[in-house]
Structure 1
Amino acid sequence: MLGRVSTFLQRCGVPTFHRCRTHDSLFNVHPSVSEALAENKPVVALESTIITHGMPYPQNLSTAEEVEAIVRAHGATPATVGVLQGRLHVGLTQEQLHFLSHDNASLKVSRRDLPYAISKGLSGGTTVSGTMIAAHRAGIPVFVTGGIGGVHRDGENSMDVSADLTELGRTPIAVVSAGVKSILDIGRTLEFLETQGVCVTTFGKSKDFPAFFSPHSGFSSPYNVTDAKEAAELIAGMLSLGLQSGLLLAVPIPEEHSASGQLIQEAVCTAVAEASEKGIRGRDVTPFILQRVSELTRGESLKASILLLISENEIRNV
């Protein structure tokens, strides 16, 4: 789907982003990415916290490599974003992917963390917000991830809201994901995105908004698009208007890969309760819950995550 969306975007006459220098002291674009951008060929941005914080080694490395291979196989250039030794990279070499997959001291780099990571010469995986910043600066209009962050459960009291949501409200990037992580308050997340002026659309025949491991969350997107052409026209319209806000295109995990979704959701509820009992807060909540869910499901959640990431990057026959 993504390759076809990128191709249709070119045909729709999407305005070229202002592209900064592709190589300077703090920001580096891989030659394959800069060449594709210069030739107006499709490029897909990818985040790297899935490598540094989302999966254990070696599944993290093999999944990252497989996702990049899928993007290439369908005619687009992958641009995995990461921070290495104080430099923001758009497009990573094999050696750099390997480094991030092994570096246990890697930071989780969001917008707020970028200045510190750069100034201290640190390395880390970029979150959705960090990746959006880098992709936009490089001139890449499409970014794919598993699930975005959102409003945490009990967020009305804790005010724990992911920077992913505010970034979508101020950076004109089309984010393709499997919706919102099921550990979050999906209803409040959708309300927050509306407040931020983010266009939320489901890819498929219905408006059902997906919940990462499940194609159904019980909530609906305002809109839906049924094929790659409609998706590209939607993205082109957003970019052409110069709204300076992003777009969330929610792609449900295929039904055949969601059979274990109920089991995983029950484990999520258990893990959320345990995190609350242990007093785990802030950025430590998601890593704890993901690890605990993997333990409770005996690895089934990790398998589902890998299938989900792969399906998000596969081209569908639409």
Structure 2
Amino acid sequence: MIDLRFSREVEAARQEGRPLVALESTIITHGMPWPRNFETARQVEATIREAGATPATIAILDGILHVGLEPDQMERLARADGVRKVSRADLALCLAEGATGATTVAATMIAARHAGIEVFATGGIGGVHRGAERTWDVSADLQELAQTPVTVVAAGPKAILDLPRTLEVLETLGVPVIAFAQDELPAFWSRRSGLRAPQRLDDPALIARAHRLRAALGLPGGQLVANPIPEADEIPAETLAPLIEQAQAEAERAGIAAKEVTPFLLSRLLELTGGRSLEANIALVLNNARLAARIARSLAEMA
């Protein structure tokens, strides 16, 4: 049996049938330094509450899967060193060993499904890495979207990825990719990617209805809702492109591969943008949290 623990706030929302939004915990442990990580995590939760839903930050503490963190638990996680970054492949191992782990997109989706949470807000999803024709480096997030019935609200795939190939894989896997209120796929820190989104919806209630209809049709998997970063906070794609190329070249020269690629690239881009990428990241996560709460409210109204 999975030892699944709900925070007091999440348990009350479950009992009362109030809308819930899942949140990952790698943004706390691997995304930014103390105390900015703790402050941002609390801000994201507060944003979801203000939008009429209940936040459920997911993490593993001492082998127990927590859905919703008490303030002291979140602070403990934010201050901790050596926390595992847990995905589908090592989620069960982390639980079995009684370890502490932060959940990635894939692991958060799995935990959300077990907890009965239908909507998850994150920053950006993983995907097909540049050079994947040589390295076969493809994120587990894509397979999870094809298998696990959770609607994921993100600012699109991370801009460091091969976006055309990521879209192709999502199409092959049958994952709906829905741009919110624009025709173009957003690219994380940038509103524009140069790629037309497969689908567009402007109403959170329609996104919620599509989620429920997938289940009614017996279709596996979830939906990816690509929510563009607010215009005032974006870093234009033409500004980022040469910086991403530089960071990618540095990673290849250093022999950085597998799970270490994304953290290296994000860290290097933080330096190359003079901190702008971090501020944009926070802005887009908050924006995604608001939209996820609206979708969760629509789902709760359908119940």
TM-score grouping bracket, smaller chain normalisation: over 0.9
Which of residues 221, 237, 240 in structure 1 aligns to 2:213? 237
Contact 1:48 1:80 in 2 (8 A): yes
Contact 2:192 2:237 in 1 (8 A): no
224-233 or 158-167, larger mean C-alpha shift: 224-233
* CA distance in structure 1 between the aligned counterparts of 2:235 and 2:105, rounded to whole angstroms: 27
User: Unpaired runs of 5+ in structure 1?
Assistant: 1-23
CA offsets, 1:246-280, max 9 Å, x none? 11011011111114654344322211110011110
Map of 1:249 onto structure 2: 225
Map of 1:57 onto structure 2: 34
Deviation at 1:172, TM superposition (A): 0.6
* CA distance in structure 1 between the aligned counterparts of 2:244 and 2:36, rounded to whole angstroms: 21
CA offsets, 1:261-315, max 9 Å, x none? 5434432221111001111000000111111111112211111111111122235
AA in 1 matched with 2:115: A
Map of 2:301 onto structure 1: none
Map of 1:263 onto structure 2: 239
Contact 1:61 1:98 in 2 (8 A): yes
Which of residues 43, 47, 53 in structure 1 aligns to 2:24? 47
Q: Quick one: structure 1 residues 207 and 58, their matched pair in 2 at CA, closer, same or farther if it must change by over 3 Å? A: same
* CA distance in structure 1 between the aligned counterparts of 2:235 and 2:274, rounded to whole angstroms: 15
| TM score, norm. by length of structure 1 | 0.88
AA in 2 matched with 1:296: L
AA in 2 matched with 1:223: Q
Map of 1:157 onto structure 2: 134
Alignment of 1:98-177 (within 5 A): 98-177=75-154
Contact 1:264 1:301 in 2 (8 A): no
Q: Residue 182 of structure 1 aligns to a residue in which SS?
A: coil
Contact 2:38 2:78 in 1 (8 A): yes
Map of 2:4 onto structure 1: 27
Contact 2:112 2:118 in 1 (8 A): yes
* CA distance in structure 1 between the aligned counterparts of 2:77 and 2:170, rounded to whole angstroms: 31
AA in 1 matched with 2:211: I
* CA distance in structure 2 between the aligned counterparts of 1:231 and 1:167, rounded to whole angstroms: 19
Deviation at 1:25, TM superposition (A): 5.9
AA in 2 matched with 1:151: V
Q: Residue 30 of structure 2 aligns to a residue in which SS?
A: helix
User: Unpaired runs of 5+ in structure 2?
Assistant: 295-303
Matched, 1:70 2:47: yes
AA in 1 matched with 2:279: K
* CA distance in structure 1 between the aligned counterparts of 2:198 and 2:279, rounded to whole angstroms: 31
* CA distance in structure 2 between the aligned counterparts of 1:274 and 1:137, rounded to whole angstroms: 40
Q: Quick one: structure 1 residues 25 and 129, their matched pair in 2 at CA, closer, same or farther if it must change by over 3 Å? A: closer
CA offsets, 1:111-162, max 9 Å, x none? 1111221122111210000000000000000001000000110112211110
* CA distance in structure 1 between the aligned counterparts of 2:207 and 2:177, rounded to whole angstroms: 12
Map of 1:228 onto structure 2: 204
Q: Residue 221 of structure 1 aligns to a residue in which SS?
A: coil
Which of residues 257, 261, 269 in structure 2 aligns to 1:281? 257
AA in 1 matched with 2:263: P
Deviation at 1:87, TM superposition (A): 1.0
RMSD of aligned C-alpha atoms? 1.8
Contact 1:202 1:251 in 2 (8 A): yes
Map of 1:86 onto structure 2: 63
Deviation at 1:94, TM superposition (A): 0.6
**Percentage of matched positions with identical amino acids:** 48
| TM score, norm. by length of structure 2 | 0.92
Contact 1:148 1:177 in 2 (8 A): yes
